[in-house]
Amino acid sequence: MSKTTALAIQIATGDTRPIFRQIVDGIRKEIAIGNIAHESKLPSVRALAMQLGINANTVAKAYTELTSQGLLESRKGLGVFVTEPKQLLSKAEQEKRLKDASQRFINEVLYLDYSPDQAVQYLLNEMHKMNNRN
Amino acid sequence: MTDYIIEAKGLTKRYGKKLALNNFNLQIPFGGIHALIGANGAGKSTLFRILLGFESPTVGETAVLGMNSEQLSPEMRGRLGYVNEEHSLPTWMTAGEVTKMQRNLYPNWNQKVYEAVLGNFDVEPTQKVAELSRGERAGLNLSMALAQSPELLILDEPTLGLDVVAKQAFLEALMHTETETNTTIIYCSHQMEEIERVAENLIIIENGRVIYTASPDDFCERISYWICDFDEGVPELSSIPGILSLKKIEQQYHLMTVDQQAEEFKEYLLSVGAENPVQAPVNLDKAINSVLAKNHKSPTELV
């Protein structure tokens, strides 16, 4: 029986994102930045609902969405686990996501008045740090 | 057997000249936590009293657990729980006596739930109900309602007047009761933060009618918020598709709409002379407010 990994996520009411969406985004981020490793066991639907003080159906909805996105899988009688990373997006979708993300990054760079070279250098440094950590 | 735990058909209730319910129709399926939302005087408490058979409708009929509300037997009543907003309990009895009476009355009494909720309140079994504060009385009343493990639990503004810790404990017990005992819970509240956390289904009523039923997320998606300038004059309010409210704040107009596609509505705004229309995000609080504000009594404009 594997141990449950604690999920350090928070939700806010009154937000324009529905609570289930906040959970989906929160877990995606925790996986992306490496706070939860692949193959980790997540808290049960009920446990996370208790932790966040929300209806269990909302957590179930978030877990279902993450499962259909291929990030989680539920194993019968064992619980919910983070899957091995797989490339699930189509090439076009992948490019679109990268384009959107870079657009947001560029907007910030322009706003903060950094030069393109400085921004590129910063990005490279950050990605090196990430590689070293893994 | 019916598919609905609550059914109301063509319900009208008249008090003198005032229509509390006006051809009100509602079907609530078994299971889940349903929040009943409406302005003061929208008909929420009247609906509860009719559902439980405490009052008769002027026209129409209701059924709970498949049985006509006006013919509820004592056995059926044992399967229903109801907490009114005043938390009225027999003042001359002690907390312990009231609890003992209830425990004997309800076969599915859950002592664990009772203790988990009441443990947050400083209520001694020897204290008379009359001596309890409003919050303590609420705590005692809600602990008993949840411990009854009824099939249907109706709560009229249950958390009003509870402190933050007691409220949290009550909501946890409420959600626990729903999942563990399959209780269907109908409750009304004006507290959006709480509704967003707890409710799976919203029933929004206005002037004695149901105007929306949807999950909080689906409901929010139907409402849009636009901000624009109308330098050449504002279109006639009734000509704007799906309009819920139009407010002028300084030089800009703020519009809330329902069921409008973003692209199409933007086209429309441009076609009637709007400048720089921008769509702003909407949260649950704002979405509910916009539908209730549409016909709410309001004084003349502030700005």
ipTM, 2 dp:
0.73
- Position B301 confidence tier, pLDDT thresholds 50, 70, 90: low
| pLDDT for B129 beyond 60 | yes
pLDDT recorded at residue B166: 81
pLDDT recorded at residue A134: 54
For A114, the token pair is 């950094």
Judge whether B159 and B194 are in contact, CB under 8 Å: yes
Q: In this predicted model, what pLDDT tens digit does every residue of B249-279 receive, in sequence order? A: 888 899 999 999 999 999 999 999 999 999 9
Bridge partners (DSSP) listed for residue B185? B33, B153
pLDDT recorded at residue A133: 61
Q: Indicate the helix (H) or strand (E) that contains B81.
A: strand B80-83
| Residues B102-115, mean pLDDT to the nearest whole number | 88
pLDDT recorded at residue B167: 86
Residue type, B23: N
Does this model's pTM top 0.90? no
Q: In this predicted model, what pLDDT tens digit does every residue of A93-106 receive, in sequence order? A: 888 889 999 999 99
Touching check for A23 and chain B: CB below 8 Å?
no
| pLDDT for A75 beyond 80 | yes
Q: In this predicted model, what pLDDT tens digit does every residue of B167-202 receive, in sequence order? A: 888 888 888 888 878 899 999 988 888 999 999 999
pLDDT recorded at residue B279: 93
For chain A, the farthest-separated pair of C-alpha atoms sits apart, in whole angstroms, at: 54
Judge whether B82 and B52 are in contact, CB under 8 Å: yes
Q: CB-CB: which of B168, B175, B220 is closest to A18?
A: B220
* Interface probe, candidates B196, B285, B289, chain A, greatest A C-beta count within 10 A: B196
pLDDT recorded at residue B1: 52
The most confident of B23-32, B117-126, B131-140, B163-172, by mean pLDDT = B23-32
Contacts of A47 in chain B (CB under 8 A): none
Q: In this predicted model, what pLDDT tens digit does every residue of B34-52 receive, in sequence order? A: 999 998 888 888 999 999 9
Compute the radius of gyration of chain B from its Cα atoms.
Answer: 22
Contacts of B172 in chain A (CB under 8 A): 50, 53
Distance CA B276, CA B278 (A): 6
Lowest mean pLDDT, pick from A20-24, A116-120, B195-199, B235-239: B235-239
| pLDDT for B2 beyond 80 | no
- Between chains, do A13 and B198 touch, taking CB under 8 Å as contact? no
| pLDDT for B135 beyond 60 | yes
Touching check for A56 and chain B: CB below 8 Å?
yes
By C-alpha distance, which of B202, B146, B38 is closest to B138? B146
pLDDT recorded at residue A88: 61
pLDDT recorded at residue B23: 92
Q: In this predicted model, what pLDDT tens digit does every residue of A14-55 receive, in sequence order? A: 898 999 999 999 999 888 888 888 889 999 998 999 889 999
pLDDT recorded at residue B297: 61
The mean of the pLDDT values for chain A is: 88
Task: Please report, for residues B7, B25, B39, B187, the alpha-carbon distance to residue B22 in angstroms, rounded to integers and kept in the order given.
Answer: 15, 9, 15, 20
- Between chains, do A19 and B197 touch, taking CB under 8 Å as contact? yes
